[in-house]
A and B are shown apart, each in its own frame.
Chain A
Amino acid sequence: MDVNVVDVRHVSRRFGGHVALDDVSFSVARGEILGVIGRSGAGKSSLLRCLGALDRPDAGQILIEGQDITTLPQAGLVALRRRIGFVFQHFNLLSSRTVAGNISLPLEIAGVPRADRPQRIAELLALVGLSAHGDKWPSQLSGGQKQRVGIARALANDPALLLCDEATSALDPETTTAILDLLAEINRELGLTIILITHEMDVIRRIATHLVVLDQGRIVENAPTLAIMGAATQSAVTQALLSETQPQVPPALRARLVAEPAPDGWAIIRIQLAGEAAWQPLLSLLGQQYGVEATVLQGGTTEIAGQPFADQIVSVTGYCAEIHDFLTQFDPSLKVLGHVPADH
């Protein structure tokens, strides 16, 4: 199916004089994981409320599976919301219901017969790894377990789209990884389209295949995650968001950087390799072929959007045009950040 699950077209939303969303357009293909990132006040929450049909934009269209939700009457909205699963930052589980009861609620709302519910609840509990916890109360669970219940509940009615609102922001790093892995697994196995809204670049770049960067209600970046990570032309906002998770030149060295190459000194370069190239023993090759020394100062190889991705700050002795040409075969966007003169 090549139809987009979500099409946002020229959406604007104002609150009094404040522009929360300004001519926002993007689309999400089926099975994609879209990350929407921005600082607080960038318009993420407004966008989320519009996507979830909790709020109507002042202008523009939002199509979910081809259906314009901005013009739907109330009755249509109620049906549509059952096609969208929501995962919340603070879980929003009912304390008056058990884990199984919480997962049962969307089924009850959708009118699933009482007799059919237990089996579906058991399937969902198994999917999120909580089969043994159905009879517990939410207050007896850890944060990560609560979010698993939140995810199971969001999946109850086989939604076309999963909207995650800062779903890992209230969790510790280890639990965040586990929840992201679960979301990636659900995406793979069920082919479910997911939109992740967050302010944490680190969260999003691991599993999001596409990124939308919002700033002051406008989209400043909209591209595949890998392309944004490697792009030479990033907006200031994107750079600021990325800098939290990207390797930097160590401060002590940064103070000694000069623009011109110095004899006997080193060049400091930034190299990014996506996909299989990330596994190349590039620095060893450099040593063998040119007899220079290359050292990784910062960075390493991680996974972005499910692919290996190397992002490193490297120092190279005797840097010259041939070495530069050799390296740019692998990373066309390679940047020479400066040179460090020899110590004496």
Chain B
Amino acid sequence: MEGTKLTSLVRSSGCNAKLPPGDLHKVLSGLPPFHSEALIAGYESADDAFVYDIGSGKVLIETVDFFPPMVDDPFLFGEIAAANALSDIYAMGAEPAVALSIACFPSCLDLDVLRKIMLGARSRTDEAGCAIAGGHTISDREPKFGLAVTAIHDKYRVWTNGGADVGDSLVLTKKLGVGILMTASKGGECPEDAYNDAVSAMRTLNKHARDTALEYRVHAATDVTGFSLLGHAAEMAEASGCMITLLSSALPVHGAVYELASFGFLPEGRYTNEDYIGDKVSFPPDFDPVLRDVMFSPETSGGLLLSMPERDAAEYIRRMEGQAWKIGFVSPEGVKPVSVSI
């Protein structure tokens, strides 16, 4: 089957293919607890990766991420899947060292498609200075690809989502709306310019955003992916014991997103995200329902969300030259973890 459109083989794509967060929580909370002295952060902390103390002031940081394609070009899909998986390591302030690939591949597809996916992933891991040292591939009806990524980092220099401080500015390093654009694209409704911008953003590593941020004080960090801006902001606020105010008028959004969202090109995850975290967010009365849709929509390979002292944030944003935006601030704990303001 040469020339088969990758996206035609899958029902959902990108980070939108995540199991609804509420369902996953039900399963995980029913498992017997596991305690290890060395495990500093595990799944219960809702952070981007686990952190395991290996002694001598060093920690092991590990994460896994894989999903079905949101683009038809296999090389590009490999690039996006790798950038997305590597991002969880950057969101912990660390540098990816070694990775394993995880692939599901239909036996009816030309093997050259899989080779191109892997070459795309390699182009990103090469840029990251990370080795793909092995992997596992199984035959499956729907193609899927991703990486399990490992980093070794200084124990006291790990960024978590739990250190946001009152008075911090909240900074985002990629525009929002790629989940909406990819949904529209699946229906042939995404304008070419917007599509190209979204693809370029998804394949961009969060390496530069992380490397530059290392020169400033970062109190808390995460990346914005399937649980949406609001979901990841709520996790950060809860882990930090504070309230995050998001300034809706300051949000950077890709072109065409607003219009496509108003026409109902919204990924299913937009609704399951609201089911899960809707009661953790307060909106002003008569808030624009389309912006609400954008803020609840899943992102794929989204930007870093950084909580930094105001002056550090301002300087960081200047250094990032149009690739970082102040989107909110941190206040003392309020009625809800996240408050959206106009």
A and B interact:
no
Q: Which B residues contact A (CB, under 8 angstroms)?
A: none
